[in-house]
Amino acid sequence: MLFNSLEFALFLPLVFFLYWFVTNKNLTAQNFLLLVASYFFYGWWDWRFLSLLFISSVIDYFAGYFLDKTGHPVKRLLLLILSLSTNLGLLGFFKYYNFFVDSLVTAMASAGVTLNTRSLNVILPVGISFYTFQTMSYTIDLYRKKIASTKDFIAFLTFVSFFPQLVAGPIERAANLLPQCLRKRVFDYGKAKDGMRQIIWGLFKKIVIADTCAGQVDLIFSNSTTMQSSDLWLGAFYFAFQIYGDFSGYSDIAIGTARLFGFELMRNFALPYFSRDIAEFWRRWHISLSTWFKDYVYISLGGSYGGKWKWIRNIIITFTISGFWHGANWTFIAWGFLNGLYYLPLLLSNRQKQHTGIVAENRFFPSLHELFQIVLTFLMTLIAWIFFRAENIRHAIQYITALFSRTLFQLPSADLIPLYLVIFLVVVEWLQRKKQFALQIHDLPFTVRWICYYAVALMVLGFYGGEKTFIYFQF
């Protein structure tokens, strides 16, 4: 079920009503309602894959239960391996089987060896990359003795399948979300209002920004060999805001929806295109995934211990694996590896943590130096996004090479309406950069606030062109 669908517009108020007016006096009943609603929400896409979600949840529940019961190092390690092998096995088969088979066939063919293998018609289950990572973090944290296990089976299933963030995150940790499943929730009118504002802003970013950019992105990338450089730059620019509007919009809707039910999810995007270097960008982009790879991959490899060369190795491996997490294509691996290379100069000069605050925090405009840093970081990100969007490595290299042809200074022929909408988005988010999301405008007069709410809502309705899937559903 899509957040931008008519079905969800009917589903959400119904679940909200039952949650607060029917099951509100019993925590277990509330959790069971959320569990049923979450499975219905996921099963609306394809009910057959509910079994994978259930299997992953059950194995990690019992692995966690026995991890808390035993102190024997070997038994604890075997329980952790059971959890990791189950989740990574499911993920590996459904997401990467054909990739590995095809890559092996290609590699052997280049060596003059023909393999008689064939790909399988495997359907990628929506959200499998997200819920497997979420439930794995539970058993890893238990193994590291950072949290305690839960005996409440319904609450644990609810934690894994919580429908607002089930399909595309944020990837929540058990330390944050599970305790919220275990304690009584009380309706908070202020949080609910804030949640509705964030939902509207998320829909704006998805429908008005991402979906409007998407048509031009598809047109330009599909015809990149015949396009002039100015159009190619515009196509890459549009894709940068398509994926930002699409994914951060989903996160806003998820966080806002969770607030309606008394839950607080972690912030997943913090205005990443205002970053002054790549390290800051990755502290602001897809925060739940970036911190997941930092805590469970980078630190497991040794983190910053062991000297500069091991530090460099760990950074490159972490970024490359994070790229591969996004999809079974060499373009994603190249994208992750390139971002790792971007990170190295900051690492070697020990400047990876120099920008941790808000840009131009006490000023309206950034300084010229800050503006240069923001533009440079955005351009680096823009080039990397081309690998993310391209069909294959050759397409990405051809696209990047064509960016610098003699047609660079010709007026683009592509539609400029998305450009004006992106400029509007950037201006609004710059003005609201100290807030969690742009529609947190409590400090404005009542009339001005409601004019803004209605204006954004009308834009969402005006640009709505039917339910269109979210980019990260394919990951």
CA distance 28 to 381: 45
Q: Where are the beta strands (DSSP E) in 173-227?
A: none
pLDDT of residue 93: 85
pLDDT of residue 62: 95
Does residue 272 sit in helix, strand or coil?
Answer: helix
Is residue 72 flagged as an active site residue?
no
Sign (positive or negative) of CA dihedral 134, 135, 138, 141: negative
List 286, 326, 355, 442, catalytic entry: 326
**Planar angle of CA 285, 288, 290, nearest 5 degrees:** 60
Q: Which amino acid is at 393?
A: I
pLDDT of residue 223: 95
How is residue 469 written in tokens?
A: 């899937």
CA distance 409 to 143: 58
Q: Which segments of 22-148 does DSSP mark as H helices, in order?
A: 27-46, 50-69, 73-91, 97-110, 128-143
pLDDT of residue 471: 83
Q: How far is CA 150 from CA 143, 178, 262, 304, in A?
A: 14, 9, 20, 33
**Under 8 Å between Cβ of 20 and 98:** no
How is residue 172 written in tokens?
A: 């929540």
pLDDT of residue 465: 85
Query: Tens digit of pLDDT per residue, the chain (475 long)?
Result: 888 899 999 999 999 999 999 998 899 999 999 999 999 999 988 888 899 999 999 999 999 999 988 889 999 999 999 999 999 998 888 888 777 776 666 666 666 666 666 656 667 788 888 999 999 999 999 999 999 999 999 999 999 999 999 988 799 999 999 999 999 999 999 999 999 999 999 999 999 999 999 999 999 999 999 999 999 999 999 999 999 999 999 999 999 999 999 999 999 999 999 999 999 999 999 999 999 999 999 999 998 887 888 989 999 999 999 999 998 889 999 999 999 999 999 988 888 888 888 998 889 999 999 999 999 999 999 999 999 999 999 999 999 999 998 898 888 989 999 999 999 999 999 999 999 999 999 889 999 999 999 999 999 999 998 888 888 777 6
How is residue 12 written in tokens?
A: 């959400």
Q: Can you tell me which residue has the tokens 């839960």?
A: 150
Domain range summary for the chain, segments of one domain joined by +: 6-186, 190-276+355-474
pLDDT of residue 111: 67
pTM for this model (two decimals): 0.93
pLDDT of residue 96: 81
pLDDT of residue 94: 84
**Under 8 Å between Cβ of 238 and 416:** no
